Amino acid sequence: MAQLPSHARVVIIGGGVVGCSSLYHIAKMGWSDCVLLEKNELTSGSTWHAAGNCPSFSGSWSIMKMQRYSTALYTRLADEVDYPMNYHNTGSIRLAHSKDRMEEFQHVVGMARHQGIDFDMMTTEEMRAAHPFLETHDILGGVWDPTDGDIDPAQLTQAFAKGARDLGAKIIRFAPVTDVRRLASGEWEVITAQGSIRCEKVVNAAGYRAAEVGRFFGRDVPSVAMAHQYLVTESVPKLAALNGKVPLLRDPDISYYLRQERDGLILGPYEWQATPHWVNKNDPMPEDFSFQLYPDDLERLEFYIEDACRRVPILGKAGIQKVINGPIPYTPDGNPLVGPMPGVPNAFEACVFSFGITQGGGAGKVLAEWVVEGETEWDMWSIDPRRFTGYVTKEYTRAKAVELYQREYAIGYPNEERPAGRPAKTSPLYETLRAKGAVFGARAGWERACWFPRAGKDEAENQLSFHRTNWFDAVGEECKAVQEAVGILDLPGFARFEVSGDGAAAWLEDLITGTLPKPGRIGLVYFATKSGRILTEMTVTRFAEDHFWLMTASGAEWHDRDWLLAHLPADSGIKIDNVTAAWGTLVLTGPKSRTVLAQVCENDLSSESFPWLSHQPIVIGMARGRAIRVSYAGELGWEIHLPNEYMVGVYQALWTAGEAEGIRDFGIYALNAMRLEKCYRSWKEDLSTDFSPLAGALDRFVKLDKAAFVGRDALFQEKQEGPSERFVPLIVDAGTADAPYLATIWKDGERVGLVTSGGYGHRIGKSIALSYVRRDLAVEGTALEVDIFGERFSAVVGSEPLYDPSNSRLKS
């Protein structure tokens, strides 16, 4: 057994596939002074009992990239580290029972092909030719993933471990971590049963024990262990007679996978009777569960076994050799946690993987980039631990984990608002709007009205579809009301930081790509990564020389908080207060908004006294707040920012004042439709670290003549060379479905771009796709095509903005 060293540059806690992959990738990047600590033997957690399937299929662009990297790595890893392992690249078939499933497959095929993976749609005849034992009489079709297959999880983990050791990294087994301490030097002391080790950076890769390790850091890791059960059959003579293996089979509409294991089969359902473990004091996590399983419970799988036997009849003639029922950790959205540990400097997470085998290789790469370089090659917000904030409690995580397990293969509809764990955060107006019939969706835990059903219309339930659905016309009327009269929207949850203190302005100037607004004004600012990518967007409200509000997306609260604090000079007098929970926002917008607001306040609301992009204190009744003249809808309007205790009273006052003007509630679906018409970018859709501000056509917010700011050198070089792609709005001659996120854009049979936001603009009466296209095509009037669920529709590059191009309505 290796001896515990006294110091390392990086310590990784957890010896499963992800921990060993992370160690290997960090060592490959040149940081060989790294140590992995394992409580028991390598693979003793979830890795050893994993089924070992390796799909590239995903509805997430970034997860697909991560899985694609893994499968490509696994084909060469044995030679790369000189360690033999079994990786069977059989390909896989996914079945579709419905038109909606076929449309989902068409979209994922387009994503995969854009990434260089040769996915194909399949007919039933092609499926039977690939899998001779498959019954397809009730199937519409399917999709082929050529990179899929299965791998031995233990061999894979040991291959990573050998590769890491060969590069100089160390692995210490039987060294359970009992605590961690932050030292005055900024280093970490990791305390184990074998002694202590100091390190610069530490990684929680503890799998389903990640929450236990997280508590050492004061971190509540959102993780619940779900029991995933699969059965392995005895030898099947017809499989034994084959030359090679049949493809892996998935039936997502029934919810199981079926693949060949030697001469038998593995059947793994994701059953509706989802079973979480270790969730309360009556069912505590054992001190050690290494290489252990839960008791078999085949009764809850009966429906799935019967269906699979009808689908592949040879399964029904095989005896069961063994049943595996082990813990698989889940986060609230089913994606793992990889990246900086929220609120904890120089600590990282690479844990809570529901699909750790297929994601392990890519996760190791991403984690290593975070540790060594401080940023990743791909935008990986989908797995960033900071995407979950304080509302994510153990009960919330349990509820969402059960929901996710039940819907593991559910169709990924773009506007599905799943109910589990809700409501988590509500504004003071939640009950008022609910009484008015609002249909809500959750954004970063906050309940926001999506739309308001019209009287006598079947619009109170969200009818799921990839096409325009039952709320389409209701949203259109809300947009029309905002355009012609006045609308009011409760918009809770803006992440809001109050920054003050001597030197605050100079500090911010060194961080942002552009310039700060003057006191009394507001402005958009962008923060870049050191490689010149778009890190985040904030609205700056400037009160005085060194006094600001920084407002950002609700989901960015922990992301942006940690970034600001990490760049705050240790000896400065600058103060950053997170005041997100204390404030709410009412949006009052439309050509009659001035008339309505004037009835309840004494401010001079004329454009001369209260110009666009300015702010003033405001008193409405007994409430004191701040009015900002800005509108994400693109009409004359104000955001009224108030302490939460005043929200109900001010809303009622505005509603009463606006009744004669035709005031109407509107929701975030209408707001999204209107922001598309104005080409306003959305964070983590149109704005991400996959793109630079220059590619994003944000040149006016990039001042390269500044002495310095984060990312300046990279942006200066890009400016000289010109970005390879450019943000543009497209007008699409679409049918009944608008362009989905990450739809492929074509020109003369060549892939030339991607859609980042799509939807219908009710004020202009056209389908819109905000997109990034090859730079030479980013010219108004250029004819292109957009792939919408397998069918190409004509599109043309428009001029930004598409609605009210002179901004005369905003400035009126």
Q: How far apart are CA 20 and CA 25, in angstroms?
A: 9
Please, is 602 exposed, middle or buried when counting C-beta atoms within 10 Å of its C-beta (0-12, 13-18, 19+)? exposed
Cis previous bond, 729, omega within 30: no
Please write the tens of the pLDDT for every residue from 34-64: 999 999 999 999 999 999 999 999 999 999 9
Kindly state the helix (H) or strand (E) to which residue 744 belongs, with its residue range: strand 744-747
With beta carbons less than 8 A apart as the criterion, state whether 802 and 808 touch. Answer: no
Comparing C-alpha atoms, which of 319, 351, 324, 346 is closest to residue 335? 351
Please, is 538 exposed, middle or buried when counting C-beta atoms within 10 Å of its C-beta (0-12, 13-18, 19+)? buried
Q: How far apart are CA 550 and CA 497, in angstroms?
A: 5
Phi, psi of 340 (to 5 degrees): -60, 135
pLDDT at position 2, please?
A: 74
- Show the low-confidence residues of the chain (pLDDT under 50): none
Instruction: State the amino acid at position 42 in one-letter form.
Output: L
With beta carbons less than 8 A apart as the criterion, state whether 771 and 754 touch. Answer: yes
Kindly state the helix (H) or strand (E) to which residue 7 belongs, with its residue range: strand 7-13
Provide the pairing of β-strand 150-151 with 439-443.
Answer: unpaired
Dihedral sign from CA coordinates of 54, 292, 282, 37: negative
Sheet architecture: strand order including 623-628 = 615-620, 623-628, 637-643, 583-589, 487-490, 664-665
- Is the entire prediction scored with pTM above 0.85? yes
With beta carbons less than 8 A apart as the criterion, state whether 150 and 51 touch. Answer: yes
**Mutual angle of helices 17-28 and 153-166, in 10-degree steps:** 30
Bridge partners of residue 542, in order along the sequence = 548
Count the neighbouring beta carbons within 10 Å of the beta carbon of residue 333: 17
CA angle (760, 762, 765) in 5-degree steps: 85
Token pair for residue 497?
Answer: 């930081």
Comparing C-alpha atoms, which of 551, 791, 802, 585 is closest to residue 673? 802
Q: How far apart are CA 183 and CA 198, in angstroms?
A: 9
pLDDT at position 593, please?
A: 98
Contacting residues for 347 by C-beta, under 8 A, at least 6 apart: 188, 201, 202, 203, 204, 217, 340, 341
Q: How far apart are CA 111 and CA 64, in angstroms?
A: 9
Token pair for residue 649?
Answer: 């009273």
**Mutual angle of helices 17-28 and 356-373, in 10-degree steps:** 40
Comparing C-alpha atoms, which of 717, 805, 715, 729 is closest to residue 773? 729
Contacting residues for 659 by C-beta, under 8 A, at least 6 apart: none
pLDDT at position 707, please?
A: 84
Q: How far apart are CA 124 and CA 141, in angstroms?
A: 5
DSSP per residue, 189-204 = EEEETTEEEEEEEEEE
pLDDT at position 1, please?
A: 57
Phi, psi of 648 (to 5 degrees): -65, -45
Contacting residues for 277 by C-beta, under 8 A, at least 6 apart: 225, 226, 227, 283, 285, 294, 327
Please, is 106 exposed, middle or buried when counting C-beta atoms within 10 Å of its C-beta (0-12, 13-18, 19+)? buried
Q: How far apart are CA 331 and CA 596, in angstroms?
A: 45
Comparing C-alpha atoms, which of 339, 343, 385 is closest to residue 366? 339
The 8-class DSSP code of residue 805 comes to T
